[in-house]
Structure 1
Amino acid sequence: MGTPTGRTAFDDRIRENEQDVLRYFQRRLLNDADAAEAFGELLLTAWKLRRTMPADPVAARMWLFATSRNVLLNTRRSLARRSVATRRFVDEMRTHPQSVEADDLAIEIRDAIAALPAEDAELVRLVYWDGFRSHEAAAVLGINPSTARSRLSRAKQTLRAVLADELEPTGTRSE
C-alpha cells in the first residue's frame, strides 16, 4: 500500500470524505459543536499521520474513518471528564433531543441502535449511516469480515424485532 504523494493527494482525500466524516461525528456526538471539534481534531491527527495514509482512495477513506473512530473514542473520554453539571445537561439533551430532524421514527431507530451492544451498534452505524460495506466497516473496526457479517445479521434481526414492537399501532399489541 503506497501513501499519497504530497499535500495535494492528502487534500484531495480530505475533500472527498469531509462531509461523510463530519456526519460520522454528528451522528455519534450530542451536538454540532462537539462534532466540529472532533472533526478539527481529526484533521490535525490526519495531517500528522498523513505519511501513513494509503494512496488508494478507498483505502484512504477507510483509514480516515478508522482514524475518526480513534478521535471519537478520545473525544468521548474527554467529554466524560466534564463537570457534573455539564453531564446533567448532556443527559437532558439525550432524553429530549432538540433537533428539527429528529422525528419520532428517527428517535425510535436511534434508541434501538443504542440498545445494541456497543460494537454491534457501531457496525450498524458504519454500514447504514455512513455507507460502508460490511467488509469495509470490519476494517474500520479492526475485526474479521465474517465476524462483521454475522454481527450485522444478528443486529438486523434484533432491530427488526424491537422496531416491529415499537412501531406497531396502538391498541393492536398482544399483551
Structure 2
Amino acid sequence: MLAPDRGVTPLRPAEDFIRDVEALRTQARENLDRGAVSAAYGADLERVVQMLQTALATELVCVLRYRQHHYAATGMDAEPIAAEFLAHSEEELGHAGLIAARISQLGSNPDFSPSTLEGRAHSEYVEADSLRAMVTENLVAERVAVAAYTDIIEWLGSSDPTTRRMLEQILAVEEEHADDLASMLDGLPAATGPA
C-alpha cells in the first residue's frame, strides 16, 4: 500500500484561477510607475537594491584590479596569467552590466560613482608587487564574492527569483574564477620576483 503524499497541494478549481486572473489584471493596472515591480514582488525592495549596489561596486572594483594586474604582470609565467586576468576582467564587466540592468528594472539608478566605489565594494583594489601576490589578491576577492553571493542568494530564497537566478549565474562564474586562480597559484613558485 502506498503512503499518502503529504507534500502535494491539490489543484484549485478552474473558477478560482479565473478569479485570480481577474485580480492579477486589476493589480497590474495599479502602480504602473513601478515598472516590473508588481504586487507579487516578495522581497524587501530597498534592501535588495542596496545589496545589488554593493555587488555592482564589487564587480567594478574587480574589473579595475584585474585590468591593473593584466598590464602590470611581468616575468616568465606572466603571459598566460595576464591573459587570464584580462578575460576575468571582461567577465566581471559583464556581471556589472547584468547587475546595473537589474537595479534599473527594480526602479533605481545604478551607482557608478568612482569617489565611493571601493568603500561600497566587498572586495578591495590591491596593486600587488609580484605575479604570485596578484593571483593571491584576485583569489581572495573571488572567494569574498562567492561568499557574498551565496549569502544573498540564500537570503533571497524565492522572494525575488529573477535576481536570484542572475546572481546564481554570476556565482557560477565567480567559482570558476576562484578555481582557475587556485590552479594558477599552485603552479607558481613561492617567490616570483617583482611584477
Please give the TM-score of this superposition, normalised by the length of structure 1: 0.32
> Max radius of gyration: which structure?
2
Please give the TM-score of this superposition, normalised by the length of structure 2: 0.29
